[in-house]
Amino acid sequence: MRSLTKIVLMSFALYLIMSFVNVLSQPIPNWRARLQLSDSGFVEFLQYFQIWNTITLKTPFSSSTPRFDTYIRRARFGLGGQISSKASFYASFYYDGIGKDSLTASLGNPNPEDNGKFSVRDVFFTYKFSELLNLTIGYFRPRAGKESIYTSAFNISQEKGQPSFHPRIHMVGRGIGRETGINLGGLALGNKFSLLYDLGIFDPNHPSIVGDNSIWSPLFTARILCMIGDPEMNSYQLVYNQSGMMNRKGLSIGANVTFQKRTSLFRNNMVYGGDFQLNYGPLDLLGEYLWLYRESVVNNTYFITRDNSYVIKGAWNFDLGNGQLLQFSIMHSATTPDKMYNNTGFNPHTKASLHKDFAIGVNWLIVGNRLKLGLHFVESKRHFKNNSGVDSQGIFRYINPSIQWMM
């Protein structure tokens, strides 16, 4: 009787999912609501969420597995648009992790109480003097580290790679990686070679960066991206797509560096490294390696540590017709603290913690990234603090069916 009940419930759930997919995959003129303003101005409204059903197979916190946890991994609400042909704006808010329990193996904070987290994600204004000269002012991601710059909606892997996490903490102290600042960037398009650049100055204010706030020290950023063959974009923008969607045939090679001179906690805080992205027909292949350098103040002397973070990921796409793609993906990624912390897996000066991921799975892009189903297997070895507060390392393993919807 119990087996029959499970079969009935699973069949009903499958029927609901397929009905939902069938409705949303019908031809729709425009997924994003738009208000047309006078002249060339407009305002668009954004709604985006990822629902995960994480099936935890192994975790150091519980031997009672498998565990099922359905929750909203990421959710965004916002608006953007143009004030004129040269001036644009964007503002978004997030409410992540709704319904996540404390023993689930995937990343993200648990959400045991009523959800009260609705916070600013990005708020910025861009003025386009020309394609070569774009000025952005506001609260946004410093243009350093490509995995961090990618939006989570346009990933070929289900979860982002490690260069999207600790390097943000290293630069600005916040996991979301945003800071107030000014960025100057531009795009030079060519027939077979294109160039994208960004130069920025930001004003960090997180306590883990500024300390007692007695020394004002801006964060400087620089990034350059060379594109051979087809470019990744046709106009300058702050959002990139990891997949070429079987259309692009091109290679991108990037390099970036950040520098902050001195606060009461450190001097010469830096992130530097390089990345590449190859999109060639059905193949998407990406990689990035970042070095994280800091001279921390310890007992009135400077103590040097070097952490690192990297990712390599790839996908092979199959055209299913009607604009749909089946995308098989694989990823290996890691953050490794300075070698002197091999035993604990945690750098107390930079908060870098050991985290190694292996992930494999498949995405069904029904309407591009606007409607996407995923099924992925992930195994992580990472640092955690046990019930006694002692630094430990353990295995986190899970299977993750998911759905992503964007309007």
Contact 288, 308 (CB under 8 A): no
Residues present in the chain in total = 407
304-307-312 Cα angle (round to 5): 160
pTM of the model: 0.91
Contact 75, 96 (CB under 8 A): yes
* pLDDT at residue 390, as a whole number: 86
Nearest alpha-carbon partner for 106 in 174, 166, 59, 169: 59
Q: Spell out the per-residue pLDDT of the chain, length 407, in tens.
A: 556 665 665 666 666 666 666 665 566 555 677 888 877 789 999 999 999 999 999 999 888 889 899 999 999 999 999 998 899 999 999 998 888 888 888 988 888 777 767 899 999 999 999 999 999 999 999 999 899 999 899 999 999 999 999 999 999 999 999 999 999 999 999 999 999 999 999 999 999 999 999 999 999 999 999 999 999 999 999 989 999 999 999 999 999 999 999 999 999 999 999 999 999 999 999 999 999 999 999 988 999 999 999 999 999 999 999 889 999 999 999 999 999 999 899 999 999 999 999 999 999 999 999 999 999 999 999 998 887 778 889 999 999 999 999 88
* pLDDT at residue 146, as a whole number: 94
In the 3-class helix/strand/coil scheme, how is the chain assigned residue by residue? CHHHHHHHHHHHHHHHHHHHHHHHCCCCCCCCCEEECCCCCEEEEEEEEEEEEEEEEEECCECCCCEEEEEEEEEEEEEEEECCCCEEEEEEEECCCECCCCCCCCCCCCCCCCCCCCEEEEEEEEEEEECCEEEEEEEECCCCCHHHHCCHHHCCCCCCCHHHCHHHHHHHCCCCCCEEEEEEEEEECCCCEEEEEEEEEECCCCHHHHCCCCCCCCEEEEEEEEEEECCCCCCCCCCCCCCCCCCCEEEEEEEEEEEEEECCCEEEEEEEEEEEEEEECCEEEEEEEEEEEEEEEECCEEEEEEEEEEEEEEEEEEEEECCEEEEEEEEEEEEECCHHHCCCCECCCCCCECEEEEEEEEEEEEECECEEEEEEEEEEEEEEECCCCCEEEEEEEEEEEEEEEEC
Contact 105, 380 (CB under 8 A): yes
> Alpha-carbon distance 56 to 407, whole Å?
30
Contact 193, 228 (CB under 8 A): yes
Contact 43, 35 (CB under 8 A): yes
Burial category of 340 from C-beta neighbours within 10 Å (exposed 0-12, middle 13-18, buried 19 and up): exposed
Beta bridge partners of 257: 222, 272
Contact 128, 134 (CB under 8 A): yes
End-to-end alpha carbon distance in the chain: 42
Q: Which residues 6+ apart lie within 8 Å of 300 measured at CB?
A: none
> Alpha-carbon distance 400 to 376, whole Å?
5
> Alpha-carbon distance 226 to 390, whole Å?
45
Nearest alpha-carbon partner for 270 in 194, 219, 326: 219
* pLDDT at residue 51, as a whole number: 94
Strands 87-94 and 67-82: antiparallel
Which domains are delineated in the chain? Answer: 118-397 (2.40.160.10)
298-304-310 Cα angle (round to 5): 130
Q: Write phi, then psi, for 106 (nearest 5 degrees).
A: -75, 170
Burial category of 44 from C-beta neighbours within 10 Å (exposed 0-12, middle 13-18, buried 19 and up): middle
How many C-beta atoms surround the C-beta of residue 67 within 10 A?
17
* pLDDT at residue 299, as a whole number: 86
> Alpha-carbon distance 271 to 168, whole Å?
9
Contact 402, 53 (CB under 8 A): yes
* pLDDT at residue 15, as a whole number: 61
